Amino acid sequence: MILFDVKRQPSLDSHPPRFALLVSLLAVGSTLGCGALLDSPPQTSVVLENRYPTAPTDALVVYDAYWQNVSFKGQPLAPGTASAPQDAVPASADNRAFVVLAPGWDPSSTPPTTKLVVMQSRSGFAIALGDTLRIPVDDEHFIGNCAAGSSLTQEQADFLTQIVFTADFAGRRYDASTCSTTPQEDAVAP
């Protein structure tokens, strides 16, 4: 018994137009199918908004900021301005934001300011895949601005100045009760 007779099977070569059409359809189909797989993923981003009012003196400039895996270092924000969108990953609402304010500092000046105020958001922020999270920086959404009657605990401030914003506070000691910074050698040990 012969199950497969090579001689009796039609050859693709005997039907060149059909073969070419089949190859073309397969190529187009696989390109379209693979093309859909190669689409760029949804853009997920975070924007920091400095919602403090503009003031002729002692304007509250956002000097530095950090949220989840996003650093805004080197992107100072004057009052009433917002950052460019930064790439982010989706996150639950447990993620607090942290900022360093520079009261009265002009971002175009050098050297950087030594008058800094460290703050953290009152609650965490969440972002879904493909969304843009807008983080408002003001006294309604953040704690730690002594001038507004709000302060962090010293433990919270130490975490932010010694872990999160280490470079900004290198050689300095931050007093959470007065929102003041002193050179490390002048600071009294707690």
What digits encode the pLDDT tens for the residues 75-85? Answer: 999 999 999 99
Position 31 scores a pLDDT of: 46
Give the tens place of pLDDT for each residue, 80-114. 999 999 999 999 888 999 999 999 888 887 767 78
Is the pLDDT reported for residue 190 higher than 80? no
Instruction: Give yes or no for residue 20 having a pLDDT over 60.
Output: no
Give the angle subtended at the CA of 71 by the CAs of 89 and 163, to the nearest 5°.
110
- Nearest in space to 98 (alpha carbons), one of 48, 51, 134, 44: 48
End-to-end Cα separation, the chain, in angstroms: 97
How many residues does the structure list for the chain? 190
Q: What's the confidence (pLDDT) of residue 52?
A: 97
Question: 15 CB contacts (<8 Å, ≥6 apart)?
Answer: none
Torsion, CA 165, CA 183, CA 78, CA 177, rounded to 10: 80
